[in-house]
Amino acid sequence: MIKRVKEIYSKIFNSYGHGSLENHIGKIIELDTFLPYSSTFFCITNTQNLSFEYISKNMFACLGYTPEEFKEKGMRYLWSKIHPDDIDLWLKALNELMTYTLDSISIESRTKMSYTWNYRVKNNKGTYVNVVQNTTPLEFDTEGKPIIGLAHYTVLNAQIKMDVCASANLLNEQNEYETMYFNNFSQKLLTDGISNRERDIIRLLVLDNTSKEIALKLSISPNTVDTHRRNILKKMNVSSTGELIGIFKSKTFSI
């Protein structure tokens, strides 16, 4: 299982070269000394060698594992703790987030991105708890793919029922995070007849964007957006955009 996860994960994050972040990482490590204990811990992740460059002291309070244990054994040790039912959904979420970033986010804007997803992890008492992970890229490879990240893990009660979801958020000019992508991977998937561009348009429609706003975000004309919208309604066999949005907001389908 872990070998398969490593192969898929490495394929998603396959990258080429990166610079030095020693000073930046040093400042983050210094900050950990002053942070209070809480239900959140953070790590500096390295997707090139599947390691944790640093793990904050709160990990023990959150999961019962020592930071030294995870730092020594790396990401594969964390993967071995993920709930088996969440593995494939989690990998699919990571792959789609990466694909969306490379296809839809300019290299200049990737430094302003933040990504969130969730899954269940077994703590040291053998109980699967919910973990919401938020990762901000710190370093990119020569092709603009994020490879070093600052990841915050918030641990929630095991009794809370959570679908595996993922989102990509962009820090806009007003210094507010704007949701650019969202998907629920625990729901029924869209039919294969929906193209990737149509999926992008559906996501933006669900986020209450107009055709003009969608056109600007996707760098296409409003007429092209309207054509896609008509095709989507026909493929989904619904009569209006309002009905389409209602289907996704009611969680009948995953985009």
Domain 2-183: which topology? Answer: Beta-Lactamase (3.30.450)
Residue 100: C-alpha distances to residues 41, 132, 168, 201, 225 (Å) = 27, 20, 9, 13, 18
- Gyration radius of the chain's alpha carbons: 19
pLDDT of res. 66: 94
CA 234, 249, 88, 140 torsion-angle sign? positive
Half-sphere exposure of 7 (CA within 13 A, CB side): 4
Which distant-in-sequence residues (6+ apart) come within 8 Å of 17 by Cβ?
Answer: 141, 142
pLDDT tens digits along 130-167: 999 999 998 888 888 888 899 999 999 888 888 899 99
Q: What pLDDT, on the 0 to 100 scale, is given for residue 246?
A: 78
CATH architecture type of domain 187-249: Orthogonal Bundle (1.10)
* pTM exceeds 0.75, yes or no: no
Q: Which two tokens stand for residue 20?
A: 């030095």
Domain ranges of the chain: 2-183, 187-249
Residue 170 backbone dihedrals phi, psi, to 5 degrees: -115, 130
- Which pLDDT score is estimated for 131? 96
Asked if the model's pLDDT at residue 252 lies above 60, the reply is: no
Q: What pLDDT shows up at residue 250?
A: 63
- pLDDT interval class at 18 (50, 70, 90): low
